[in-house]
Amino acid sequence: MYEKVIDTPRLELHHISAQGIIELYENKDDVIAIAGRDFTNPHQNLVIESGPLGWRVPQVKVDPSVNKWFVRFIVLKESKEIIGSTSFHGVPDSEGMMEIGLGIEEAFQGNGYAKEALKGMWSWVCTFPEVKTLRYTVSPNNLPSIAVINYFGFDYKGQQIDEEDGPENIYEMSTSEFKSKWGKQ
């Protein structure tokens, strides 16, 4: 079962089924993930590098219903090819916080696709009343990602140490502020 496609001016954000992400992660195979779709995966996104799948697949195996929040392919409308992926880290926490991650294939970076994909995902998740806060964490050395989050006007909240990635800057914005700033564009 797929969630609705999130449509932006240049991109389509296509949800991946639970079985699709399991096959991508465990078998390095995208056949199920893209079956019956009108796009291709020439860059082998999430096949060569599993990205967030190592964290999402165990969650989905325990409770398949959480998959609605998870991995979406970022598809370039013009060429109908996957150029990246994005995913929330989990269900809304007890305070209504949702954290997101994303990756754009290197050949497509620097074209505003990350901003467009994030805006699409955040606009979608802001439609759920249980979601109150949007969060984005990033290495203090990842200047392009910091520029993206600054573009949206998120507040810097401090740093945390991630077991995998080391120090990360934490940025947040309330869903009401996001809708006020970005909902009418």
pLDDT digits (tens, 9 = 90+) for 99-115: 999 999 999 999 999 99
Q: In angstroms, rounded to a whole number, what is the distance separating the alpha carbons of residues 112 and 117?
A: 9
pLDDT digits (tens, 9 = 90+) for 133-154: 999 999 999 999 999 999 999 9
pTM: 0.94
Q: In angstroms, rounded to a whole number, what is the distance separating the alpha carbons of residues 147 and 25?
A: 30
For 77, what's the count of Cα atoms within 13 Å in the CB-facing half-sphere?
12
Domains present along the chain, CATH in parentheses:
6-182 (3.40.630.30)
